């Protein structure tokens, strides 16, 4: 069993072990898993290259650790509890035994399609249990899964499939989200026109909408598993064999395929899940994320299932049929741990208290948040109205790259403070670094958040671009992993995440690169150039503000252009990247060397043009006045 912390003293003791002797600390955690062959060495690392390896020469299969290891005790306990979009539709509960059978049948089907160890399988699926089945089936046979969030456009899907060189795509006829139906198969068909590596698609029937099945390429999920045996020998994997790729946005260029490997990710996701949420056997745990993001990978699928937990998977949205949906689900399943994003909390807070009144929330023990900084108002509302002042809030800071939670309270153990992620997980060594790369020791300091020692769940590379791995995370500061976040360590040694210090914005908890959005805007035939910045948004945390320079206006005038730019961005990236505000400007503020001075645009978008700082390097100061005059926020 994964070791569990029970007290503050115990937590401090584990942290001390994690610093004094990280190898012994992680050995002890890793020993609670089933290894076909034990590792020879715990860690090998060099942040200069960079090269990171954990549990060297260890052999295992992660699904064997979810299933076979626990079958005596867990076979007939629920593994996945699935709540459909429509509360009137029947739910589904899959026990560990049933889930294993589904996984094995599908794993055999993938093999029959020719999928082998190391091959990439893309998934573009709604939130149905088959999404988890597909991922675990890949892990069973050693294929690398690459889940693409089902809100992304055809082009985004195609880019990710091509970057990974996936040979099989798993999708569905459609997906339900609230009152909307997304035609996933149609979108996938569009994407696949540009994906030469895909040999087959497997289509899960969810909505029953009519779809086009391409002869020889497309197969129904129920047909492909028909007659497959419910047994499939797990593939023996090396600890450092890739488990999955997950794309995320960075400050430059196209999305990066973050690569996680088998042994380290398993140990880290399972350890952090059990400890942060203080999961006890029999608890019902509900994470509202989509599996298309890292939170869903680590804390709907792997972390909970590795601990034999009951993980609730919800297909729909928080606001449908009404803003009480989450609380209805909590009451229906007597949820004990509830994990969501600040943007959802703020949206529900804004809907008013009537959606919580009379809802039975007394089963709740722990509340969690992730994805972006949580403001104090939202924290208090969550604490008072949902937790009724008796549930600790775990504000969990981490990233796609970290694989699991890095800085967070241990529920009920670490004293919390609103808006603070508090303290690191045992075995994690965060540092605050100034812009010159000096480590700021002691308390009451503010700077860049870096990590100075590896942890098992960290990324190993960027798929197909190890050079970019080095540039992005290991070049800004020497011998440290750079997170891209700003942080404050207060007088008590508590960490408060201040948000990104690079050109990444966080919109409703979704990470978006401003460069990515600019590229999409610039595709518009009338756009000459653009600059995108984030601005404070009451519900989304950050909104997207685009400053756009057009050559001429089309017949629709300014509104016409704005609308067609919005449509273009939705088509190229997906609706999550659609600007909230588009200001057409005569030019962008640039330095003499031609760099856009985003700092100035950020200030204007924040509604604070009074203090633009040093603008002496500007090529043309007049353009700044023109932008301020035309600003679409109060400045």
Shortest Å, Cβ 421 to ligand 6R9:
5
Judged by beta carbon, residue 355 or residue 398, the one nearer ligand 6R9 is: 398
Strand 237-238 with 430-433, pairing: unpaired
Please say whether the dihedral angle defined by the alpha carbons of residues 433, 259, 500 and 588, taken in this order, is positive or negative: positive
* 398: helix, strand or coil: coil
Shortest Å, Cβ 7 to ligand 6R9:
24
Q: Which residues bind ligand 6R9 (CB under 6 A)?
A: 248, 293-295, 370-373, 395-400, 421, 483-485, 497, 499-500, 506, 511
Judged by beta carbon, residue 98 or residue 401, the one nearer ligand 6R9 is: 401
Shortest Å, Cβ 358 to ligand 6R9:
30
Shortest Å, Cβ 323 to ligand 6R9:
23
Judged by beta carbon, residue 293 or residue 547, the one nearer ligand 6R9 is: 293
Judged by beta carbon, residue 258 or residue 284, the one nearer ligand 6R9 is: 258
Q: Supply 356's token pair.
A: 């919580």
Q: How far apart are CA 331 and CA 353, in angstroms?
A: 16
SS3 track for 363-389: CCCEEEEECCCCCHHHHHHHHHHHCCC
Judged by beta carbon, residue 106 or residue 293, the one nearer ligand 6R9 is: 293
Shortest Å, Cβ 293 to ligand 6R9:
6
- Which residue carries 């699928």 as its tokens? 301
Alpha helices (runs of H) in 37-128, residue ranges in sequence order: 62-66, 71-74, 96-112
- Contacts within 8 Å (CB) and 24+ apart, 161-164: 161/122, 161/191, 161/192, 161/195, 161/197, 161/198, 162/194, 162/195, 162/197, 163/247, 163/254, 163/257, 163/463, 163/464, 164/120, 164/122, 164/245, 164/257, 164/463
DSSP annotation string for 162-177: HHHT-SEEEEES-EEE
Phi, psi at 52, each rounded to 5°: -135, 125
Judged by beta carbon, residue 173 or residue 485, the one nearer ligand 6R9 is: 485
Shortest Å, Cβ 500 to ligand 6R9:
5
Judged by beta carbon, residue 134 or residue 484, the one nearer ligand 6R9 is: 484
* 254: helix, strand or coil: coil
Shortest Å, Cβ 405 to ligand 6R9:
8
Angle of helix 96-112 relative to helix 129-141, nearest 10 degrees, comes to: 60
Q: How far apart are CA 42 and CA 125, in angstroms?
A: 36
Contact 532, 523 (CB under 8 A): no
Judged by beta carbon, residue 369 or residue 530, the one nearer ligand 6R9 is: 369
DSSP annotation string for 312-350: EEE-S-TTSS-TTHHHHHHHHHT-SEEEE-HHHHHHHHH
Judged by beta carbon, residue 153 or residue 483, the one nearer ligand 6R9 is: 483
Shortest Å, Cβ 287 to ligand 6R9:
11
Judged by beta carbon, residue 176 or residue 397, the one nearer ligand 6R9 is: 397
Q: How big is the chain by its Cα radius of gyration, in Å?
A: 24
Shortest Å, Cβ 297 to ligand 6R9:
10
Shortest Å, Cβ 35 to ligand 6R9:
28
Which H/E stretch holds residue 157? helix 154-164
């Amino acid at each position: 069993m994964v070791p569990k912390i029970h007290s503050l003293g115990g937590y401090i003791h584990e942290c001390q072990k994690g610093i004094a002797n990280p190898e012994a600390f992680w050995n002890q955690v890793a020993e609670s898993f089933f290894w076909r062959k034990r590792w020879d060495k715990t860690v090998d690392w060099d942040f200069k290259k960079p090269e990171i390896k954990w549990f060297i020469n260890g052999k295992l299969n992660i699904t064997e650790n979810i299933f076979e290891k626990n079958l005596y005790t867990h076979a007939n306990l629920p593994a996945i509890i699935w709540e459909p979009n429509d509360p009137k539709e029947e739910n589904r509960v899959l026990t560990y035994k049933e889930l294993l059978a589904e996984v094995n049948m599908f794993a055999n089907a993938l093999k029959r399609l020719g999928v082998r160890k190391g091959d990439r399988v893309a998934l573009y699926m709604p939130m149905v249990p088959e999404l988890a089945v597909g991922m675990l089936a890949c892990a069973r046979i050693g294929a690398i899964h690459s889940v693409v969030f089902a809100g992304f456009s055809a082009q985004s899907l195609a880019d990710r499939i091509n970057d990974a060189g996936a040979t099989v795509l798993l999708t569905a006829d459609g997906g339900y989200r609230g009152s909307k139906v997304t035609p996933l198969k149609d979108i996938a068909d569009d994407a696949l026109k540009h994906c030469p590596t895909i040999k087959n698609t497997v289509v899960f029937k969810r909505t029953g909408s009519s779809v086009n099945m391409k002869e020889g390429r497309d197969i129904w999920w129920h047909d492909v598993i028909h007659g497959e045996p419910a047994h499939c020998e797990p593939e023996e994997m090396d600890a450092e064999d890739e488990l999955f790729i997950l794309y995320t946005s960075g400050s430059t260029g196209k999305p990066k395929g973050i690569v996680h490997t088998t042994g380290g990710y398993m140990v880290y996701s399972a350890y952090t899940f059990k400890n942060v949420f203080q999961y006890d056997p029999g608890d019902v745990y509900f994470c509202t994320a989509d599996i298309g993001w890292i939170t869903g990978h680590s804390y709907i699928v792997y972390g909970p299932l590795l601990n034999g937990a009951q993980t609730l998977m919800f297909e729909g949205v928080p606001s449908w049929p009404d803003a009480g949906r989450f609380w209805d689900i909590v009451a229906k399943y007597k949820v004990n741990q509830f994990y969501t994003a600040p943007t959802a909390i703020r949206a529900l807070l804004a809907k008013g208290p009537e959606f919580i009144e009379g809802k039975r929330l007394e089963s709740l023990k722990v509340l969690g948040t992730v994805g972006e900084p949580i403001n104090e108002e939202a924290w208090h509302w969550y604490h008072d109205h949902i937790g009724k002042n008796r549930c600790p809030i775990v504000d969990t800071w981490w990233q796609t790259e970290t694989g699991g939670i890095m800085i967070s309270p241990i529920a009920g153990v670490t004293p919390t403070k609103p808006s603070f992620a508090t303290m690191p997980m045992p075995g994690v060594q965060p540092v605050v670094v100034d812009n010159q790369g000096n480590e700021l020791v002691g308390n009451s300091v503010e700077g860049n958040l870096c990590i100075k020692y590896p942890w098992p769940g960290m990324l190993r590379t960027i798929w197909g671009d190890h050079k970019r791995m080095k540039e992005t995370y290991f070049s800004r500061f020497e011998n440290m992993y750079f997170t891209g976040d700003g942080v404050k360590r207060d007088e008590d040694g508590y960490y408060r995440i201040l948000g990104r210090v690079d050109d990444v914005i966080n919109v409703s908890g979704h990470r978006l690169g401003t460069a990515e959005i600019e590229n999409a805007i610039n595709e518009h035939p009338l756009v000459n150039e653009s600059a995108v910045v984030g601005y404070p948004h009451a519900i989304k945390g950050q909104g997207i503000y685009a400053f756009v320079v057009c050559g001429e206006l089309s017949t629709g005038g300014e509104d016409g252009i704005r609308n067609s730019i919005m449509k273009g961005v939705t088509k190229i990236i997906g609706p999550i990247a659609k600007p909230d505000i588009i200001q057409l400007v005569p030019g962008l503020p640039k330095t003499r060397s031609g760099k856009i001075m985003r700092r100035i645009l950020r200030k204007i978008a924040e509604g604070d043009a009074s203090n633009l700082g040093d603008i002496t390097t500007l090529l043309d100061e007049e353009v700044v006045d023109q932008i301020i005059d035309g600003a679409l926020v109060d400045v």
